[in-house]
Structure 1
Amino acid sequence: MPKPRKEQVSLEATPYYHCVSRCVRRAFLCGTVRDTQQNYEHRRGWLEAELLKQAQIFAIDIAAYAIMSNHYHVVLHINKQQADVWSFDEVIERWHSLYKGNALSQRYRLNPTMSQAEKDKLAEYVELWRERLMDISWFMRRLNETISRKANEEDGCTGHFWEGRFKSQALLDEKALAACLAYVDLNPIRAKMAITPESSEYTSAKKRIIKAKASHCANHPKQQSKGLLIFAGNPKQHMPQGLPFKLTDYLELLDWTGRIIRKDKRGAIAKESPPILQRLNINTKNWIELTQTIETNFKGFIGQPESLHNTLTHFNRQRRSCVQPSHSLLA
């Protein structure tokens, strides 16, 4: 039985989560339907645009994404620090850009003069909305509902477009985060939909690479792709919020990994591996295994044995099926 989302998401454990949502009926509802050859490629553009738009409203950053023919992957970062500093009015405006709110909030926007009892009641709603605006379940629900409505309207039908429940994996440490970012960005290459990361349509990899090529200093936060969580550089004492790697190091790692995946023999490993793997202390063979099987080897949590043990203990989990791959691939 699937675990409740509250038993899979904990900011105490990690702010990073890998989420996957798939179309129903195993249909290629975002690409070309094999039987009819009807093309729905434009729906991938819908999804990409809505994903990036929502990230500007929620306190949730997009670290990576790949929109495939019948499913999509996204790595989300819960930005609690951002949500905590939003003012009373800002929370209301953000919520109203997504939903209608309620009678109190609608009246407040027209005329802030209210009784103290009404303000106190509205304050309760505002805190609830603040929580929801940094909740990956609400983020994914809104995203999927928006695309579902548009697709059903286009098809002139009703019913489910996505499977009822999206899959999520908590990324507990740097090793897990790096492996999952590469796993998501290289999805089109593994599926033979593209031969290089920069030719992978509707992915964060292509978006980052295009921007990096046009930048004088690709690693500078202000010269990185807008709408995506920045690569802040290697961990240091005073570090801006962002991914704990240099963008150029990550793109080098992505290119190297993509070349290995495209080789005829799965076990072929290039002699020279990128320095980022040395910093993360990941064996090259383990890295290739991780970036091709991270969904099958791990269920709800991904991380080194110590990180995994602490998190599973926190959630009082008795079954620990992901411990073995953690030891063999991430120790």
Structure 2
Amino acid sequence: MTLPRRTLVCVDDTPFYHITSRCVRRSFLCGVDHATGTDYSHRRLFIEQRIHLLSSIFAIDIAAYAVMSNHLHLVLKLSPEVIDKWTDREVVDRWTSLFKGPLLIQKYGKGGLLDTAEQQAVNDIIDTYRRRLADLGWFMKCLNEPIARMANREDGCTGHFWEARYRSQALLTEEALLSCMAYVDLNPVRAATATSPEQSEHTSIKERIRPSLHLADAITTLVQTHQLNHFNVTLKPLLAFEGNVTLNEQQGIHFSLYDYLELVDFTGRVVHDDKRGAIAPQLPLILQRLGINRNTWLNNATAFEQIHHKRFAKKRQCVKHAA
């Protein structure tokens, strides 16, 4: 019997979850339709951009993702403790970047004077928004619905784009987390649409290896096309690899990025009878292909997140101007 999603998600058990969404009838609605030859590949970029946008608005981090031609994979970390640090104004700014909100919230956002009853109503609404900004269901709703509406508008049709809401799987151990992330990052290789992880498009592993500015550019486009009301939240990079467990407070993945790349490369070379692709055995190891050595990688692994954040921060000025 199918269980309600609220019974499948418990942050006390684990904050990490594997999420999948498939296109209706598993059609190639985000790739090249084999039947008609129509190319829908631009939708994959839109989905990738929106994943990053929503992660920056919600108290949810992205550990891994892969946007395929007819489905997507996400490995998410829920961080509900973060929302307690946000002010009421910040909560409203985050939520109203996606939704206008009722008239009272619009009045509050503009700095209008509120009487006691109105202020109490606003406080109740803000409490609701605060819970939603840490909720997996609302995250997926804000991801999937706009994509479905955009696709139907492009195709001049109505009906479902996704075959269901989404499927979630709790990742209860570190082994489960790492194996799931490697599975997600190797999806294009297994589908024989890429020969190696660093060549796989619209995946988290390529972003970690070769970060691109097109994700930051997308925010300006979303504001200008009225798909995003405004955006004054710092764009968030992927969840960081923090190496081994330490005495300090850690929010990231307790594994090194160097070791993870080797793990993905090793796993990708294993041939599966039920999969079309694998990394060719004659290819050199991934760090050799990238032209870096172990010491260089270990020195730069943490700096990458800072560099990635600075690149996004430069683009943020354009976003503010557009808003």
TM-score after normalising by structure 1: 0.73
Cα distance change of structure 1 residues 117 and 226 upon mapping to structure 2, 3 Å threshold: closer
CA gap of 1:186–1:64, structure 2 versus 1, over 3 A, is same
Contact preservation (8 Å) 1:67, 1:73: yes
Number of equivalenced pairs: 256
| 8 Å Cα contact 1:19/1:167 also seen in 2 | yes
CA gap 1:73/1:47 in 2 versus in 1, 3 angstroms: same
Q: Distance in 2 between matches of 1:84 and 1:245?
A: 27
Q: What does the per-residue CA deviation read over 1:114-149, in whole Å, with 9 as the maximum and x for residues that have no partner?
A: 112221221111111111111111111111011111
Quote the residue 2:226 is aligned against: none
Out of 249, 255, 262, the position equivalent to 1:245 is 255
Determine the structure 2 residue equivalent to 1:53. Answer: 53
- What's the offset of the Cα at 1:77? 0.8
Residues 50-92 of structure 1: CA deviation (Å, up to 9, x unaligned): 1111111111111100011100000111122221100010001
Q: Give secondary structure in 2 for the equivalent of 1:154.
A: helix
1:236 lines up with 2:246 in the alignment: yes
Q: Is residue 90 of structure 1 aligned with residue 100 of structure 2?
A: no
Residue 20 of structure 1 is matched in structure 2 by 20
Partner of 1:157: 157
Letter in 2 for 1:200: S
Report the Cα distance in structure 2 between the residues aligned to 1:57 and 1:85, rounded to whole angstroms: 14
Pair 1:8 & 2:8 matched: yes
Residue 7 of structure 1, CA deviation: 0.4
Is 2:99 the counterpart of 1:115? no
Do residues 202 (structure 1) and 202 (structure 2) align?
yes
DSSP-derived class of the 1:158 partner: coil
Q: State the SS of the aligned residue for 1:73.
A: strand
For the structure 1 residues 210 and 226, does the alpha-carbon distance in structure 2 shift closer, same or farther, using more than 3 Å as the test?
farther
Query: Is the Cα–Cα contact under 8 Å of residues 64 and 205 in structure 1 kept in the other structure?
Result: yes
Report the Cα distance in structure 1 between the residues aligned to 2:77 and 2:254, rounded to whole angstroms.
Answer: 12
After TM superposition, give the deviation of residue 202 of structure 1 in Å. 0.4
- 1:125-164 correspondence to structure 2 within 5 Å: 125-164=125-164
Q: In structure 2, how many angstroms separate the alpha carbons of the residues matched to 1:6 and 1:117?
A: 32
Is there any run of 5+ residues in structure 2 with no aligned partner, and where?
Answer: 213-234, 286-323
The answer for the alignment partner of 1:67 in structure 2 is 67
Taking structure 2 as the reference length, the TM-score comes to: 0.75
User: Match for 1:231: what amino acid?
Assistant: F
CA deviations over 1:283-319 (Å, ceiling 9, x no partner): xxxxxxxxxxxxxxxxxxxxxxxxxxxxxxxxxxxxx
Q: Is 127-136 or 106-115 further displaced after alignment? A: 106-115
Q: Distance in 1 between matches of 2:236 and 2:243?
A: 17
Among all aligned residue pairs of Structure 1 and Structure 2, give the percentage whose two residues are the same amino acid. 50
**Structure 1 residue identity aligned to 2:51:** L
Unmatched tracts of structure 1, length 5 or more: 213-224, 275-331
Structure 1 equivalent of residue 305 of structure 2? none
Distance (whole Å) between structure 1 residues aligned to residue 272 and residue 164 of structure 2: 34
**Structure 1 position 163, deviation (Å):** 1.6
- Contact 1:231–1:244, Cα closer than 8 Å, also in 2: yes
Higher relative contact order (CA 8 A, sep 6+): 2
For the 8 Å contact 1:232–1:239, the answer to whether it is kept is no
CA distance in 1 between counterparts of 2:164 and 2:8 reads 17
> What is the CA distance between 1:226 and its match in structure 2?
5.7
Amino acid at match of 2:156: G
Question: Per-residue CA shift, 1:245-274, capped at 9, x if unaligned?
Answer: 11111111111111224799x9xxx9xxx9
| Residues 55 and 236 in structure 2, CA contact (< 8 A), matched pair in contact too | no
Residue 112 (structure 1) shift: 4.1
8 Å contact kept, 1:189–1:262: no
Q: Which amino acid aligns with 1:235?
A: V
Tell me the secondary structure at the aligned position of residue 56 of structure 1: helix
Mean CA deviation greater in 110-119 or 99-108: 110-119
Q: Provide the C-alpha distance between the structure 1 equivalents of 2:14 and 2:148, rounded to a whole number of angstroms.
A: 30
The aligned residue for residue 297 of structure 1 is none
1:211-262 CA distances to partner (integer Å, 9 max, x unpaired)?
A: 49xxxxxxxxxxxx96211111111221431111111111111111112247
**C-alpha distance in 2, partners of 1:26/1:16?**
26
Distance 1:81 1:165 in 2: 26
Query: Where does residue 269 of structure 2 map in the other structure?
Result: 259
- 2:42 pairs with 1:42: yes
RMSD of aligned Cα (Å): 2.3
Distance 2:270 2:120 in 1: 59
